Chain A
Amino acid sequence: MRITLKNITKSYKKVTAVEDISFEVKPGELFGLIGPDGAGKTTLFRILTTLLFADKGEATVAGYDVVKDYKKIRNSVGYMPGKFSLYQDLTVEENLEFFATIFGTTIEENYDLIKDIYVQIEPFKKRRAGKLSGGMKQKLALSCALIHKPKVLFLDEPTTGVDPVSRKEFWDMLKRLNDKGITTLVSTPYMDEAALCDRIALIQAGKILKIDSPSNIIEQHEKQIYNVEADDMYKLIQDLKEFPKNDSVFAFGEFVHYTHFNDEFSPEELKKYLEEKGHKKVFIEATSPGIEDIFMDLSRTKDIKPTDNEV
């Protein structure tokens, strides 16, 4: 069950939300759209789930055209929007029943598919959806999106605002679902989640920066990154930025990630420079890039400024 997009463009008044986007999600793939707020992720989801017309371009989901065959698409996909969209004043069980009925099925018929997820909220099935915690809402929304056994699953920022432990659990669930053969398109602003996808598209300001498997993207990245550490982080960032041979300087957890303007980096030279600036305990080592490093590098070198295209 494939998803295809060909030259999709969509503007709202003056802002171009997505521009000339083309990619394909292969049957059974777990495909991630990785990018910050305003990148255009939600616009793409809405076009693919037939809730919004593109200005230009074509798209298909499970072989159906998003414009001509919109009714068929609506029957065969599951969609979990970024904003919690269930009925707050129905209970957990009522919400699930409602969605099952709408799609002409029953909870029993497809229980197997949601079992793993639903058992975690089943103890609260008489509770109103509006009274659930964030993590439970997320599980209910996913159960509702799955109850008609969709061929394709769309998850728009399912883990935004969710703590790291719950995020990890959610991805484990997603992996298990994907193993059952459901083609999944998922978006996230958390770059560390990219590694869990089969393939990803890095997206910023309505444009795609890169599409490939996370490991290929990392392997193909040519710039060597160095971890730099010293006792005063803030001053270290300032001074590294003033080092004339720097290409980029970004705080990265306990280190600063530094790239050099050419291939002739000398750790001794940088160390000496920093020590002359008064830094103590200077430590420099080569390290390998992560998706976030590459995202920053691509958005910087392609000079794509972040925009806010929220609707």
Chain B
Amino acid sequence: MSDIHALSGAYAVDALDDVERAGFERHLATCPTCRDEVASLEEAASLLIESASPLSAPDTLRERVMAEIALFRPLPPLTGQAAPAPVVRGDHGHAAPEARDLAPVVPLRRRRVPALAAAAAVVAALGLGATVVQPLVDRGRDGQPVITESGVQRVLQAPDARTQTYTIKGGARAVVTVSRELGQAVLRAEGLGDLPPGMVYELWLQHDERMVAAGFLPAGADATVLLTGDASTATAIGITTEPEGGSPQPSLDTAIRFPLTKV
């Protein structure tokens, strides 16, 4: 644990894997020394491109960029203490009851439903009042937080973002936000239990009958993760427990699956 400071350099050049990155960002939230160091190392890293032979951007890029930015309003600045809690919008900016009561938890690929999935089937639908997802913005680095959360933010603020909340046995919850347009999904897991050493929660996107690995959740803590891979046509998101490093195929007996609403 004391060694975690040593990750500052690797973090500054994005050389951490997803699990390490999430862990280090939690550390950053509480360690001003590391935040300062990361900031200074990012300054250093930003000089590296100067050492490369320069390329000019293709002409088409400028047009595309300028056309695209015209479609988006810049986000408001963060205003410190009373910053409005970022509300994950459901359909049209309502903070409210996207809270999808419970989605059926079904085993992947219609297999038998053993242990965890069976347990998950017991899931009670909590009447979740509102899907206000907490401080997604400010995690990690105070001052300039959004860099680290940017992919997440972009999904959460996408005009077509849809948020669904699923309750999992034992009080755990998963809040899934999908932007079909961006083709990306964000999962916020709350209260998933600790795993034995050497095991990780792996995420999956289901496309038809195929499960595609989509990253990992840091174990044991609440976490917000941008799934890797294309979510534009995914039909479900799955969470399984796998040996560290992940598995090529999901271990079905640990699967929890969250069906996504159609586009």
Judge: A and B partners, yes or no.
no
Residues of B participating in the A interface, judged by any CB pair closer than 8 Å: none
Residues of A participating in the B interface, judged by any CB pair closer than 8 Å: none
